Amino acid sequence: MEKSTVGSALTFDEERFTKIDIFKNRNSSMFMLNFTPGQTMKSHTHPGKELYLHVLAGHGEFLIEDEAVNVTEGDVIHLEADEMIGFENGDARTSIYVTMNRMPV
């Protein structure tokens, strides 16, 4: 059994967004993405993995497979394996709790 707190992963950097691991093993990981106002995450994929994203605080816009998706605190998104994702933060600090799982082969 492992225990952690979300609060321990709320770390911000004015220069770039942060990714703070909470749990990680061979098949899955849980981490926090933290953005200060105006920060972005370039579009990318996670081959063979599905993602669940929960916006804990703040707001912004995901770009998912070329579709703009506005999100705010409390929103949850599920991505299938290999979907392209990027993010542009709004005008407040934003924290997104992410669970990433390896898809069965």
- Sign, Cα dihedral of 89, 21, 6, 50: positive
Instruction: Give residue 48's region: left, alpha or beta (phi > 0; psi -120 to 50).
Output: left
DSSP letter assigned to residue 15: S
The domain segmentation of the chain, as residue ranges, is 17-102
- Please tell me the predicted confidence (pLDDT) of residue 29: 97
Q: What is the dihedral of CA 95, 90, 49, 103, to 10 degrees?
A: 70
Q: 17-102: which CATH architecture?
A: Sandwich (2.60)
- Please tell me the predicted confidence (pLDDT) of residue 85: 98
Mean pLDDT of each 10-residue bin along the chain, 105 residues long = 91 98 95 98 96 98 97 98 96 98 86
- Please tell me the predicted confidence (pLDDT) of residue 48: 94
- Please tell me the predicted confidence (pLDDT) of residue 12: 98
- Sign, Cα dihedral of 51, 54, 58, 64: positive
- Please tell me the predicted confidence (pLDDT) of residue 96: 99
- Please tell me the predicted confidence (pLDDT) of residue 103: 87
- Please tell me the predicted confidence (pLDDT) of residue 105: 74
